């Protein structure tokens, strides 16, 4: 079972933003100011700027491969399973630590209002957020949206009130002095660079969205737009908020303050009753840590899920419940988070997490270069990183420089994590996984290591996300199964097809059979001569399922008219199964099938098709489908002896079949096109029309 696509643009924004607003605003400014002084403001600005290459790279790959697993899945499919294991385990550990730290923050800030133990409170909230994630992504993301909106309102008020008091000079209690900014660089340029890397962790939540890419609706639009909006809003609040803290708190106090936002809040909001500003900031901090804890639980739990699917973790972690959530992966994640809360201290976590993430960002930026140069035909991102490849090269160089400024201890942690992950791959994974990454498709000299199934996986992902979001009907036609039937009854035909669909959906064939038979007294609006449409509804179906039964001699089927019952001879049956929760989708699919069946000479044209491929070609929408033969004396001769990846076809079309000597097959990017091959292509209408003009009309 696949994860449900429940997350829209606001959910993407909420998960990404909510994962950033916690320690980055409420804790780190004081710690960071120790190393660079007032220029900590620039450190936050530079860190936001330097994470942009990784953001663009993740957005591109995630729209091409919207799958759970975040950095693990992206690195595995680009460099192969060894790098996937290193990136996956390392990032998983980093996110566990960051999420545990956020939950400890809830306990720490909660002590201001209540007499509660810090770590026990953190453990309790870990369990609460785990339960929310088990109940469903939409419930978890719903809480996330409430938390994020509350945060933005409070922190926006903090910034506005701070600027008003700083520049109006009307607040007598505000200790704003120009000497707060002298000297500006207390640690010199090296201190600023170190601090930029140190606060880098504040923006790491921006890339968490790749972990839940599989659950995002319309990923081509929502992933890049949601991440960009999140970076813009978060970056503004970070830079302006830290400016307010530096302006109102003496640097000696700020550099020792573990709650600088609360200290600044006490000096602001003078128009409210005493201590109200402090209480507002503390409540906002609780929202922030809760938001990060919830988003962290959601994103982190998808790593064991993805690695379980690929046999890198035990397979049981790939199990998805009826609610569409990975329960074993969530349980493992919450158990490890609780262990971190109980065993570890907070010291050094930020530096360690930042250093390893910088290493991951180097690899992800390089992944885009690998995917682009692999020329895998089915690598089809809906968003393309700007300024390629210079954006990626810039990200690699700057991340590498920041890593070395983070100190040898953090580098040693990163190297140790890499080594232990390699041992896990060497002794547990390698014997089970025969997959290689896209990098072997780039270097032709390594052709013997190319993993042919990689193209098939990418093509399946491409088909699942669709050539266009409104092209669900064409996707269903391409996936449909054709049954040739002879010498049987109507009831036997329904049972045979029900068994086939039940095997595909892993469901009860008898229940399907009963539902199909209920539609035999079919509504008069669906009656078409020699054609019958039978339909059923099932829960948790990721996409519609269509099977087609053809019997040239015809099968007698019961039919009810307003005044009598009779039997009619049917030559073509459509068996359609839709999700029970989407009745409108079923009506649209039935309407499209009726439109097809009402074509002139429909039955004659169907039975003139000799192969399943020809039936599917005929059923595909004309504007999104083209089929032509490669001939030596025709314009298509430019394709002869070319690999499909080098054929120069538009990016938004897909070669579904190649018919070679009456033997159709699904090609990959390395398939060499031969004379007399017949190509069947689906895609966007504009590109299909260009191919029609180039290869058919020009003849």
3-state secondary structure 101-142: HHHHHHHHHHCCCCCCCHHHHHHHHHHHHHHHHHHCHHHHHH
Partners of 643 in the β-ladder:
672
Whole-number Å distance between alpha carbons of 285 and 265:
11
Whole-number Å distance between alpha carbons of 391 and 384:
12
Q: Which two tokens stand for residue 379?
A: 């690598």
Whole-number Å distance between alpha carbons of 88 and 162:
41
Q: Which two tokens stand for residue 583?
A: 């009745």
| 548 Cβ neighbours under 8 A, 6+ residues apart | 480, 481, 482, 483, 572, 573, 574, 575, 615
Owner of token pair 């030596």: 632
Radius of gyration (C-alpha) of the chain in whole angstroms: 29
Could you give the 3-state DSSP secondary structure of residue 67?
A: coil
Q: Which of 325, 322, 326 is nearest to 539 (CA)?
A: 322
Report which DSSP code applies to 684: -
What strands, in cross-sheet order, belong to the sheet with 625-629? 625-629, 678-683, 653-660, 663-665
| 292 Cβ neighbours under 8 A, 6+ residues apart | 18, 19, 20, 21, 22, 23, 98, 99, 102, 105, 205
Helices and strands in the chain, H and E counts: 28, 8
Give per-10-residue mean pLDDT for the chain (699 aa): 65 76 80 89 94 89 70 70 79 79 76 78 87 68 71 89 78 55 86 88 73 71 86 92 90 81 82 80 80 74 76 80 79 87 68 80 86 70 87 93 83 86 84 59 46 54 48 76 87 92 87 82 59 87 89 82 65 91 78 80 83 76 71 88 86 79 76 87 77 70
Q: Which of 325, 375, 370, 332 is nearest to 212 (CA)?
A: 325
Q: Which two tokens stand for residue 545?
A: 């399922």
Partners of 573 in the β-ladder:
532, 549
- Looking only at the bridges linking them, the beta strands covering 531-538 and 565-579 are parallel
Whole-number Å distance between alpha carbons of 351 and 354:
5
| 220 Cβ neighbours under 8 A, 6+ residues apart | 63, 381, 382, 383, 465
Taking CA 269 as the corner, what is the angle to CA 265 and CA 273, rounded to the nearest 5 degrees?
105
CATH architecture for segment(s) 9-426: Up-down Bundle (1.20)
Q: How far is residue 484 CA from its own chain's centroid?
A: 39
Query: Element (H or E) spanning 655, and its range?
Result: strand 653-660
Q: Which two tokens stand for residue 489?
A: 């009854």
- What is the domain partition of the chain in residue ranges? 9-426, 466-620, 621-699
E-strand spans in 397-437?
none
For the chain, the farthest-separated pair of C-alpha atoms sits apart, in whole angstroms, at 96
Whole-number Å distance between alpha carbons of 373 and 78:
11
Q: What is the pTM of this model?
A: 0.62
Q: How far is residue 142 CA from its own chain's centroid?
A: 18
At the top level of CATH, the class of 621-699 is alpha beta
* Cβ atoms within 10 Å of 498's Cβ, excluding its own: 26
Q: What is the DSSP string of 192-207?
A: HHHHHHHGGGGGGGGG
Query: Element (H or E) spanning 351, and its range?
Result: helix 349-374
Whole-number Å distance between alpha carbons of 325 and 634:
53
Whole-number Å distance between alpha carbons of 238 and 216:
27
Owner of token pair 């999104």: 624
Q: How far is residue 634 CA from its own chain's centroid?
A: 43
Statement: 466-620 belongs to CATH 3.40.930.10 = yes
Q: Which two tokens stand for residue 588?
A: 């649209």
Whole-number Å distance between alpha carbons of 620 and 428:
45
């Amino acid at each position: 079972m696949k994860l449900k696509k429940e997350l829209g643009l606001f959910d993407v924004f909420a998960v990404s933003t909510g994962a950033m607003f916690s320690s980055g605003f409420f804790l780190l400014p004081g710690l960071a100011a120790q190393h660079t002084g007032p220029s900590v403001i620039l450190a936050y600005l530079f860190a936001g700027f330097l994470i942009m290459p990784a953001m663009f790279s993740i957005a591109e790959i995630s729209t091409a491969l919207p799958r759970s697993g975040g950095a693990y899945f992206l690195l595995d499919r680009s460099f192969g399973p060894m790098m996937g294991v290193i990136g996956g385990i390392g990032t998983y550990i980093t996110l566990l630590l960051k999420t545990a730290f956020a939950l400890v923050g809830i306990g720490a800030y909660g002590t201001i209002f209540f007499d509660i133990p810090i770590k026990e409170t953190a453990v309790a909230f870990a369990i609460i957020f785990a339960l929310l994630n088990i109940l469903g992504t939409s419930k978890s993301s719903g809480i996330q949206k409430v938390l994020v909106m509350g945060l933005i309102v409070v922190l926006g008020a903090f910034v506005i009130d701070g600027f008003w008091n700083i520049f109006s000079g009307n607040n007598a209690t505000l200790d704003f002095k120009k000497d707060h900014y002298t000297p500006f660089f207390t640690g010199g340029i090296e201190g600023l660079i170190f601090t930029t890397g140190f606060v880098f962790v504040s923006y790491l939540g921006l890339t968490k969205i790749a972990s839940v890419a599989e659950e995002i609706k319309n990923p081509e639009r929502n992933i890049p737009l949601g991440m960009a909006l999140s970076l813009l809003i978060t970056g503004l609040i970070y830079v302006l908020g830290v400016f307010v803290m530096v302006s109102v708190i003496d640097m000696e106090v700020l550099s020792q303050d573990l709650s600088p936002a609360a200290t600044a809040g006490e000096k602001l909001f003078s128009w409210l009753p005493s201590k109200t500003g402090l209480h507002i900031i503390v409540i906002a901090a609780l929202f922030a840590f809760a938001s990060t804890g919830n988003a962290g639980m959601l994103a982190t739990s998808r790593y064991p899920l993805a690695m379980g699917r690929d046999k890198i973790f035990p397979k049981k972690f790939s199990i998805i419940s009826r609610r569409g959530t990975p329960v074993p992966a969530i349980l493992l994640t919450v158990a490890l988070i609780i262990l971190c809360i109980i065993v570890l201290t907070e010291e050094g976590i930020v530096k360690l997490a930042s250093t390893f993430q910088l290493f991951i960002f180097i690899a992800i930026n390089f992944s885009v270069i690998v995917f682009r140069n692999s020329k895998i035909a089915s690598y089809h991102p809906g968003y393309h990183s700007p300024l390629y490849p210079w954006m990626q090269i810039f990200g690699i160089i700057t991340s590498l420089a920041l890593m070395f400024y983070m100190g040898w201890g953090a580098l040693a942690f990163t190297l140790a994590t890499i080594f232990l992950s390699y041992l896990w791959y060497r002794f547990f994974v390698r014997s089970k996984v025969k997959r290689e990454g896209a990098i072997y498709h780039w270097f032709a000299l390594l052709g013997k290591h190319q993993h042919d199934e990689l193209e098939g996986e990418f093509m399946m992902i491409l088909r699942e996300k669709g050539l266009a979001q409104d092209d669900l009907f064409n996707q269903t036609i391409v996936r449909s199964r054709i049954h040739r039937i002879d010498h049987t009854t109507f009831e036997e035909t329904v049972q045979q097809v029900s068994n086939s669909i039940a095997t595909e959906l892993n469901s009860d064939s008898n229940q399907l059979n009963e539902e199909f038979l209920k539609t035999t007294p079919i509504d008069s609006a669906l009656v078409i001569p020699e054609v019958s449409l039978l339909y059923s509804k099932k829960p948790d179906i990721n996409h519609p399922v269509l099977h087609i039964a053809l019997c040239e001699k015809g099968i007698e089927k019961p039919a009810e008219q307003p005044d009598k019952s009779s039997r009619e001879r049917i030559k073509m049956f459509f068996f359609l199964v839709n999700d029970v929760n989407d009745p409108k989708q079923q009506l649209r699919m039935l309407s499209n099938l009726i439109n097809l069946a009402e074509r002139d000479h429909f039955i004659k044209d169907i039975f003139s098709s000799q192969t399943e491929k020809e039936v599917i070609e005929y059923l595909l929408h004309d504007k999104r489908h083209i089929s032509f033969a490669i001939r030596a004396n025709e314009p298509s001769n430019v394709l002869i002896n070319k690999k499909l990846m080098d054929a120069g076809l538009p990016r938004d079309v897909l070669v579904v079949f190649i018919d070679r000597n009456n033997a159709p097959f699904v090609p990959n990017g390395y398939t060499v096109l031969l004379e007399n091959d017949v190509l069947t292509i689906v895609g966007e209408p504009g590109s299909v029309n260009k191919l029609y003009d180039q290869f058919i009309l020009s003849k």
